[in-house]
Structure 1
Amino acid sequence: MSLETLWLALLGLFLAGYFVLGGYDYGVQMLHPLLGGRRGGHETERAHREAERAHREAERPRGDAERPRGNAALDAMAPFFLGNEVWLVAFTGVMFGAFPYLEGTLLSGLYPLIVAILVGLVLGSAAVQLRGRAHSARARRGWGALIVFGGALPALCWGLVLGLLLHGIPRRTDGIFHIGPGDVLTPFVLACGATTALLFAAHGAAFIALRSAPEPAARARRAGTALLRAVGAAGSLALLLTLFGAGASMTNRLTSAVLAALFATALAAAWHWLSHGHRARAFAATCCATLLPVLLVGAGHYPYVLIDSAGAGLTVHEAAADGATLKILTVFGAVVIPVILAYQTWSWWAFRGRTGRRHPDYF
């Protein structure tokens, strides 16, 4: 394996990791008004929660008397909140360092969508932290709406980016890749955007079912199964458009077909396990489903990293930095990548288990 291919695989690893870990953040944000409540359920658990809340109220400073209770959905992701963005930072760093020509071409061509993703990320992160500091129901509703918006906008835009990469980005006569509104507002790209947004929402529901107390977990299971059916419908539309020549332009068709079949299998497995209450298996299946689109772009287009509408484009060799730079980055990556993996493993181990029992309210 050449260094160019190795670093392309690492680039895909970081983006896939962000889709898996950041994807459930987006999903939880989108679903928190529906799945974050804590009323209902067994009487024993309700009494236990009431006693805990009364105890917290008694010990709470007077100035915090009107502070709202935590949200069960947001509490599920709280220990990992903003920590998952390390994968996005790592992806950006690899692209800048190992693939400078791809970075210059891709970011300039997809500039409006990249800006929208960053805007949603900033607004959603700020709203999650400020919601609990609001002193009125109206303010909490406003911050809650921004939380949903901050999850839905990046999820949709990431899907649009994937759709454009699969279909091919138009190239101007000067060789620069460029998109306009007409390139985004096509049936295939919009279908990819809807598929990814719904997939992240279903992934978030599976995460809430895994992490939350029994009552919100049961609601998350029901929502997740419905969302997975919607993902299948939107994905089927994208597949039909591809079969009729209005969708993806894949370089390696056999590999792409296998990955598409694996994606459908992961969705079916997630629906089955979520329906039958196998929370860990369902979450593992939605993890697989969220990373497979990244693998589809990378493996389906190899040796191209970016294609135009005609099916030609920028190869991995043309996009990569020179060999000396890649060797230096390889030494650096041999140290940094294990640290990132160890940090993620430790954080999941430290905050394992359901919220509401071992862990307090965070937001």
Structure 2
Amino acid sequence: MTLETYWLALLGLLLAGYFVLGGYDYGVQMLHPLLGRSIGQEAQHTGRNTALDAMAPYFLGNEVWLVAFTGVMFGAFPHLEGTLLSGLYPLIVAILVGLVLGSAAIQLRGRAHTARGHRWCDVLIVFGGVLPALCWGLVLGLLLHGVPHRADGSFHITPGDVLTPFVLACGMTTTLLFAAHGAAFIALRSAPEPAARAAVMGANLLRAVGAAGSLALLLTLFGAGASMTNRVTSAVLGALFAASLAAAWQYLSRGHHGRAFAASSSATLLPVLLVGAGHYPYVLINSAGTGLTVHQAAADGATLKILTAFGVVVIPVILAYQTWSWWVFRGRTGRRHPSYF
């Protein structure tokens, strides 16, 4: 394995880790107002806090994966960074806006002393989950389909590039997938009563994910969807995605919450692998199926060697931190850890 391939695999690992860990954050934010809809007002308020408490010990800590992904892209793939971030600028800004508003609302919700204040915080929390989840799906859809390259190799997206059936189907698939992943996480972490309601929500959402994903697949089969370089690899990853969704649905329906979360985590990271492995050796393609290769996007060999020494230290630290935090705050909320926000 060359250094370029090694760093591409590491880049994919970091983004996949963010999709898994940040994805359930977005899902919890989207679902938390729904957990107490059918019960009394006091219980409804408690149910909402229960949903947020499920992710509270890991809140904002999961964003370290996005920071690490951005740092690796800046250092190891400067030509990809310059092209990708500038071309996807509107969607990147929307993701950051959602992150900021959602994070602020979660932390300020406990300080709101009026019903109106709680409602505004709830709206911003949901908005801060939906907007990044949708925009990440749109980004994936654009990368799978191919971006509109200019003569100088750069690109700039327009509303017409985003508002296509395939890209919108990818955005809907990712939004629903993150919501289902968040439901599986709540089922794993919460007390039995909200966990049971979250499991029902998650199972229903997984059906919707399957429908949206099937639409994207049909568009691809009819030539209006993804432009894949490695079709066999893409087909295998697509089959694994469908199998992960089916397993997550089955485990949630049977009350096996730990297995359901593992299956939904697998489904959440597979779209990232589809973009990377399905397009290799390209890291960015246009609608014609050609584009920027790994070799063209990567930094020079000397830079990659220096970064490798750095990565050998930093990546294990990130993994150790995540493992430690999950171990310390293991168990369901309401038992060992009654409240955080």
Per the normalisation by structure 2, the TM-score is 0.97
Q: CA deviation at 1:148?
A: 0.1
Q: CA deviation at 1:39?
A: 5.5
Q: Distance in 2 between matches of 1:281 and 1:306?
A: 34
Alignment of 1:218-233 (within 5 A): 218-233=196-211
Q: CA deviation at 1:352?
A: 0.3
Of residues 126, 129, 134 in structure 1, which corresponds to 2:107?
Answer: 129
Structure 1 gaps of 5+ residues are 41-45, 50-66
8 A contact 2:47–2:194 mirrored in 1: no
Match of 1:30 in 2: 30
Match of 1:313 in 2: 291
8 A contact 2:33–2:48 mirrored in 1: no
Match of 1:301 in 2: 279
Q: CA deviation at 1:35?
A: 1.8
Name the % identity.
84
Match of 1:145 in 2: 123
Match of 1:188 in 2: 166
Aligned to 1:122, the other structure's residue is in SS state: helix
Q: Distance in 1 between matches of 2:314 and 2:116?
A: 44
1:37–1:350 Cα change, 3 Å: farther
The aligned amino acid for 2:51 is A
Q: Distance in 2 between matches of 1:68 and 1:277?
A: 22
The aligned amino acid for 2:171 is G
Match of 1:327 in 2: 305
The aligned amino acid for 1:92 is T
Q: CA deviation at 1:301?
A: 0.1
Match of 2:74 in 1: 96
Q: CA deviation at 1:38?
A: 10
Aligned to 1:341, the other structure's residue is in SS state: helix
More off after superposition, 284-293 vs 29-38: 29-38
8 A contact 1:177–1:308 mirrored in 2: no
Give the superposed CA RMSD.
Answer: 1.6
8 A contact 2:35–2:48 mirrored in 1: no
Q: Distance in 1 between matches of 2:156 and 2:230?
A: 24
Per the normalisation by structure 1, the TM-score is 0.91
8 A contact 1:256–1:300 mirrored in 2: yes
Matched, 1:86 2:67: no
Q: Distance in 2 between matches of 1:242 and 1:291?
A: 20
8 A contact 2:183–2:198 mirrored in 1: yes
Q: Distance in 1 between matches of 2:227 and 2:46?
A: 50
Aligned to 2:283, the other structure's residue is in SS state: strand
Aligned to 2:61, the other structure's residue is in SS state: coil
Q: Distance in 1 between matches of 2:273 and 2:49?
A: 34
Match of 1:12 in 2: 12
Q: Distance in 1 between matches of 2:296 and 2:180?
A: 37
Of residues 105, 111, 119 in structure 1, which corresponds to 2:97?
Answer: 119
Q: Distance in 1 between matches of 2:324 and 2:264?
A: 21
Q: Distance in 2 between matches of 1:340 and 1:277?
A: 31
Q: Distance in 2 between matches of 1:34 and 1:362?
A: 20
Structure 2 gaps of 5+ residues are none
Aligned to 1:314, the other structure's residue is in SS state: strand
8 A contact 1:38–1:216 mirrored in 2: no
Matched, 1:248 2:226: yes
More off after superposition, 212-221 vs 27-36: 27-36
Q: CA deviation at 1:36?
A: 5.6
Larger Rg: 1 or 2?
A: 1
Map Cα deviations across residues 314-343 of structure 1 (whole Å, 9 max, x no partner).
000000000000000000000001000000
8 A contact 1:17–1:87 mirrored in 2: yes
8 A contact 2:169–2:212 mirrored in 1: yes
Aligned to 2:334, the other structure's residue is in SS state: coil
Q: Distance in 2 between matches of 1:39 and 1:333?
A: 49
Aligned to 1:247, the other structure's residue is in SS state: coil
Moved over 2 A (4+): 36-40, 67-70
1:360–1:171 Cα change, 3 Å: same
